[in-house]
Structures are given as C-alpha cells and as structure tokens.
Structure 1
Amino acid sequence: MPTAFTPSGPVVVVAAALYDDAGRLLAARRSAPPELAGRWELPGGKVEPGESPEHALVRELREELGVEALPEERVPGEWDLKPGHVLRVWRTRLVSGSPVALQDHDELRWLGPDEIWSVDWLDQDVPAVKQTVALG
C-alpha cells in the first residue's frame, strides 16, 4: 500500500499575542470545528507551503479579524497541538483596524492581566498563554 506524502517536520500553526495600548490581550472564541466551538484561543492559523510564519500570521489576522498587524517578537517555545502540528506564538502589534470576528470565531475579548484566566482557553493554548503572560 503506498504511503501518503508528508512534508518534513510538523505543520506550523502561528498565533498572535495581540495586545492593545492598555496592555490587554486579545482572545478569540472558536465557532468551528464543533469539537473546539466555545473555547478560546490566540488568533492565527496554519502556515501555507512556501509561506514564512510571520507572513502567515499577518495573512491569518487579516482574514480572521480584518486587521493589519505586525509580528514583533517570537514568544520562546513551541507547543504540540494535534499530532504533527505545533503552535508558535508572536507578540504582535496592531497596525490598523479594529478586530472583528470574521472567520472561525464568534466572539473576541480584550483581557486585562486580571482577566486572562476568565475564559475557557483551548487546552493546547494554555501553555502558550502562560508563557506569553509570563513575558509581560
């Protein structure tokens, strides 16, 4: 039986630790797929073949939130998602626009430092959020 071609290395999923001027972190509530709906995540998505992670993050934030953003600094670490997928996070600055839930999300919230754990984060995002918050 032939085996399916798989690219070398894991599929990279990028996410934004997007902060506003008041120091609040943006969280996005998933609307799809059904097994993730209602849980919260850092917005982002998969890196496409031939695309840099930073470019993917800019594209995903444009598509999902309708904003222009600039990845500034990678948060140290890499976190396993489902098999063959890893999450990488960047501290990201909003360049223009106001985030709106356009794709894959039904609600957005700006969370102050004392509100970070008031939402039901996806299990896979918890370590990335902890690392992001620890960096301040």
Structure 2
Amino acid sequence: MTERIVVVGAALLDAGRLLAARRSAPPELAGRWELPGGKVEAGERPEDALVRELREELGVDAEPVARVPGEWPLKPPYVLRVWTARLRPGSRAPQPLEDHDELRWLTPDRLWEVPWLDQDVPAVRALLAPSLFPAGS
C-alpha cells in the first residue's frame, strides 16, 4: 500500500469570515476556489506545514487552532486534512502571492458564492454546524 501524503488546508477565520483563495495554476484548477495550504514535507508536523504554507502563499503570520474532523481523498496518494487557523496579532493582511490570483473573505451565508474545487467542498461543509449538514447529506 502506498504511503499517504498529507496536504494541509487552512480554514483561516477572521471576524466570522472564512478566507477563500482562487487558484491561478495549474491550468486545470485555475479559476476555482480552495482553502489555502499545501503538502506536508518529510519530517514536518502538519501544523508547522500549515504555518509555512500560509506564509509562502499569503504572506501572513498565522497559527493553527484546531483540526477539523475528517480526511478527504485527493489524487492518490494525497489526502486533505484541514485545520482552523487565525492570523497572529500584527500579521499583515493576506495577499495572493503564490498559485492564487484573488482572495475573498466569505461569511457563512456566502460560502457557496464561489466555485470551490471539488475536493474542498466536503471540507468546507465540515466547517459548518453539523446540524446544517447532517452526516450523509
């Protein structure tokens, strides 16, 4: 069995809003929205990868808060795990630096106004109150 490679996604929250990032690359993903993040490198803790990826992709100083229950398959051998995260005091505002061309802060009632990448949809659903998205829906 192939070893799974973890990709971390950040549910970056601020003032009740979630940050969504629009992909600019690769071409097959361009124009779709995702939770920012990336691959965990060998010997790296997922939480450390999350902090590093947010610094590289958005230029922010953020901290992981809590792991979102669940794990979602990506293209084998990758799996997506998501953490809620927040900006540290004094961090600059997020900027689309790498692989993204637009960022948007979304309130819960506007989450579905952007076309999320298929693999991010279940993770975004998991961020909402369980009573809104009961298991199996």
What corresponds to 1:16 in structure 2? 10
Which amino acid letter does the alignment assign opposite residue 127 of structure 1?
Answer: P
Deviation at 1:58, TM superposition (A): 0.2
Q: Which runs of 4+ in 1 moved over 3 A?
A: none
1:84 counterpart = 2:77? yes
1:26 Cα deviation after fit: 0.2
Deviation at 1:113, TM superposition (A): 1.1
Q: Equivalents in 1 of 2:72, 2:66: separation in Å?
A: 17
Match of 2:50 in 1: 57
Q: Aligned partner of 1:56: which letter?
A: A
- How far apart, in 1, do the equivalents of 2:42 and 2:114 lie? 33
**1:71 has 2:68 as partner:** no
Structure 1 SS opposite 2:108: coil
Q: How many residues align?
A: 129
Identity %: 71
Say which SS state the counterpart of residue 98 (structure 1) adopts: coil
Partner residue, 2:135: none
User: In the aligned structure 1, how far is the partner of 2:61 from the partner of 2:129?
Assistant: 25
Cα distance, 1:9 vs. partner? 2.3
Secondary structure of 1:45 counterpart: strand
Deviations 1:29-48 (A, max 9, x none): 00000000000000000000
Residues 60-84 of structure 1, C-alpha deviations (whole Å, 9 max, x = no match): 0000000000001000000001111
1:134 to partner: Cα distance: 2.6
Q: Distance in 2 between matches of 1:79 and 1:115?
A: 23
Stretches of structure 2 lacking an aligned partner (at least 5 in a row) = 133-137
Equivalent in the alignment of 1:119: 114
- Report the TM-score, using the length of structure 2 for normalisation: 0.90
- Unpaired runs of 5+ residues, structure 1, are 1-5
Query: Structure 2: which amino acid aligns with 1:115?
Result: R
TM-score with structure 1 setting the length? 0.91
Tell me the C-alpha RMSD between the 2 structures. Answer: 1.5
